[in-house]
Amino acid sequence: MRDDLRPWTAFYGPSVRRDIEAPRYRTLGDMVASVAHLHGRKPAFTCCLPNGMNGTLTFEQADEMSDALAVYLREVCGLSKGDRVALQVPNGLSFPVAAFGVMKAGCVLVNVNPLYTAEEMAKQFADAEPSALIVVDMFADKVRAAMKGHPIPNVIVTQVAEFLPSAPRGIVRLVQKYWDRSLPDIDFAHVRLPAALAAGRKAQENVAVEEYRAAVEPTDVAVLQYTGGTTGAAKGAMLTHRNLLVNMEQTMEMIEGVEPGEEVALTALPLYHVFAFTVNLMGFWWLGARNILIPNPRPLSNLKRAFENYRITWMSGVNTLFNGLTNETWFRDTPPKHLKFASAGGMALQTAVAERWHEVTGRPVLEGYGLTETSPVLTFNPLERVRSGSIGIPVPGTEVRCVGEDGTEVPLGEAGELAARGPQVMAGYWRRPEETSATMRDGWFLTGDIGVRDEDGYFRIVDRKKDMVIVSGFNVYPNEVENCLASHPGVLEAAVIGVPDDATGEAVEAHVVLRDPALTAADLRAHCKAHLTPYKVPKRVVMRESLPKSNVGKILRKDIRAEALAAEG
């Protein structure tokens, strides 16, 4: 496609390719093995616990362990290419070993949220039909109930402190068993991860992992990544090896200033989340970076020792994480000295939060945009050309436009649904051809988000199409009102929804967590009146202790809306 039809390419850095159609590696397994050979005994992953106890795997160790797991899955469990393997593990050293092993085996990884209830697990297992499950022991008590609808013949159990040195691993086990009492009895057939690796190593005497990798094609599905379900039932997006490898390169090329082999990335976002999976896990492995894994970032003080003990140069997060850190005294007093920048995604980055982060750290938050279905990154802000309030420009080889209900592009500056096409767009939804057809139109993926493009090719998100509030026929976008509320120094967090109203059809309702308890609803409505047209001003302001959030910290408007409607009766 000509650059004059993609004005955003003028803002690419000098080393950024205009198009990336074919990744440098055939498959994810090939990439893992090649990078491990290049970086060998350098530290690849460090699991840092809240008290500072830690353990590290080198590139060489992670590669060898994942080879052993691949052989175990194929030779001992009897899995075949294309079989699904569910992974339900928090951030820790077993995650990369498991994920890389599944990829090398030619199987399909199914990321599962570790905090899911047995009912939620059962729905995902019934849909994906995994032949194996790798699960952390803390949550194993839910497995038996979850497998009633779809029995899983092979279950591998790991622990939070897996592969840490024996002393800290033993301490963690004692605390979990006798103090927290967080280790349930496991009453189903299983094998422990170290035993699975030992069995795989023994079987390796008669097989070569390279043979599995050679049989995998770039167009084969690598990951079944389930949508967050924040706007409805979760669906499995089929992400191919090519999808993920291309998107990794698209994104990493846009992140200027990173030095191969020198970066230290803080991974507080869970690796089962698609952004952390593609960028933190795969992207920083590709760069030869050291990845500091945080098993649980809540409370935020759990991050303190990681910032103190490691030379963090990069981190990713969502708006609530950045907002929370800038409200932590320890973080404000000693912000990270070596941080080059941070990346935001998953939900809209509020302007007030971005400004406060820059004030505290001296470094910007680079906002990007994407979806599970797009592997995930579609747009990103170039480091030296950041535009406040913007999700940036399309990454190489990607086209994005704003379209109306009829699918035609709307004029510049007008709001329309964001549509995208590029090599990172999924192969479709798992076993849901009708839903795949509904989101694809003439090769374009319809995102369900409303956005605006300027003449330079920078985009900004207006809001989710499904979250838009219509007041007397006027469109109100919750993000705009939330940004206004967040700009008040007495507001910690805000979420805006639409509720039924006899006079206007819908009314704007704000749910607010205060920083200043003296603030009243009238104060906040007056603040909004000073910055917004009258129909956008919340008709009602609800003060709350907290807002419901997903595991990655995304505020769940659908849950707030359900609560509000239930209260209405």
Q: What is the mean pLDDT of each run of 10 residues along the chain (569 residues)?
A: 78 90 94 98 97 96 98 98 98 98 98 88 94 95 91 96 90 79 87 98 94 97 82 81 97 88 95 94 97 94 97 91 94 96 82 93 92 95 87 96 93 95 97 94 92 95 83 81 93 94 87 95 94 90 94 88 83
pTM of the model as a whole: 0.86
- Which pLDDT score, from 0 to 100, does residue 230 have? 41
- With a CB cutoff of 8 Å and minimum separation 6, the contacts of 282 are 28, 31, 244, 245, 248
- Check residue 477 and give its pLDDT: 81
Strand-strand pairing, 264-267 and 236-240: unpaired
How many CB atoms lie under 10 A from the CB of residue 37? 11
The SS3 of residue 350 is: coil
DSSP run (H or E) holding 65: helix 59-71
**CA-wise closest residue to 481 among 514, 545, 527:** 527
* Cis peptide leading into residue 538 (ω within 30°): no
pLDDT of residue 231: 43
Which residue ranges form the domains of the chain, and what is each CATH number?
56-216 (3.40.50.980), 469-568 (3.30.300.30)
